[in-house]
Amino acid sequence: MINQHELLTTAARLLVDVHCVVVFTGAGVSAESGVGTFRDALTGLWSRFDPQQLASQEGFAADPGLVWRWYIERLTTIENARPNRGHEALAAMEKIIPEFVLVTQNVDDLHERAGNRHVLHLHGHIGRFRCNGCGAAYSLRAGDREALMPPCCTICTGYVRPAVVWFGEMLPEQELFEAWGAAERCDVMLVVGASGVVYPAAQLPAVAQRHGACIIEVNLEESALSELADITLIGPSGEILPRLLDAMYACEAKSAFR
Minimum CB separation of residue 18 from ligand BJW in Å reads 23
What is residue 146's three-state secondary structure? coil
Q: What is the DSSP letter of 152?
A: B
123 is catalytic: yes
> Binds 181, which of ligand BJW, Zn ion, none (CB < 5 to 8 A, cut-off by type)?
none
CB-based contacts of 163, cutoff 8 Å, min separation 6: 124, 125, 128, 129, 130, 137
Q: How far apart are the first and last CA of the chain?
A: 29
User: How far apart are the C-alpha atoms of 13 and 25, rounded to whole Å?
Assistant: 21
Residue 158 touches Zn ion, criterion: CB under 5 A = yes
- Using CB under 5 A, count the residues that bind Zn ion: 8
Cis ω for the linkage preceding 200 (within 30 of 0):
yes
Contact between 195 and 224 (Cβ < 8 Å): yes
β-bridge pairing 188-192 and 20-25: parallel
- Residue selected from 15, 110, 131, 215 as contacting Zn ion according to rule CB under 5 A: 131
* 174-193 positions binding ligand BJW, by CB under 6 A: 193
For 65, 72, 115, 125, the CA distances from 112, given in Å and listed in that order, are: 30, 20, 5, 12
Q: What is the DSSP letter of 79?
A: H
Cβ-based neighbour number of residue 149 at 10 Å: 14
Minimum CB separation of residue 2 from ligand BJW in Å reads 20
**How many CA atoms lie within 13 Å of 4's alpha carbon, on the beta-carbon side?**
11
Q: Which of the residues 87, 111, 121, 123 is marked catalytic?
A: 123
* 85-144 positions binding ligand BJW, by CB under 6 A: 105, 107, 123
- Residue selected from 194, 208, 229, 244 as contacting ligand BJW according to rule CB under 6 A: 194
Residue 76 touches ligand BJW, criterion: CB under 6 A = no
Q: Which of these ranges, 2-10, 95-103, 112-120, 163-171, lies near ligand BJW under the rule CB under 6 A? A: 163-171
Q: What is the DSSP letter of 170?
A: P
Q: Which is nearer to ligand BJW, 60 or 100 (CB)?
A: 60
Q: Which of these ranges, 31-39, 91-99, 130-138, 147-155, lies near ligand BJW under the rule CB under 6 A? A: 31-39
Minimum CB separation of residue 256 from ligand BJW in Å reads 31
Residue 137 touches Zn ion, criterion: CB under 5 A = no
Minimum CB separation of residue 166 from Zn ion in Å reads 17
Contact between 79 and 72 (Cβ < 8 Å): no
Binding site for ligand BJW (CB under 6 A): 26-28, 31-32, 37-39, 55, 105, 107, 123, 164-170, 193-195, 197-200, 218-221, 223, 236-237
Binding site for Zn ion (CB under 5 A): 131, 133-134, 136, 153, 155-156, 158
Catalytic (active-site) positions: 123
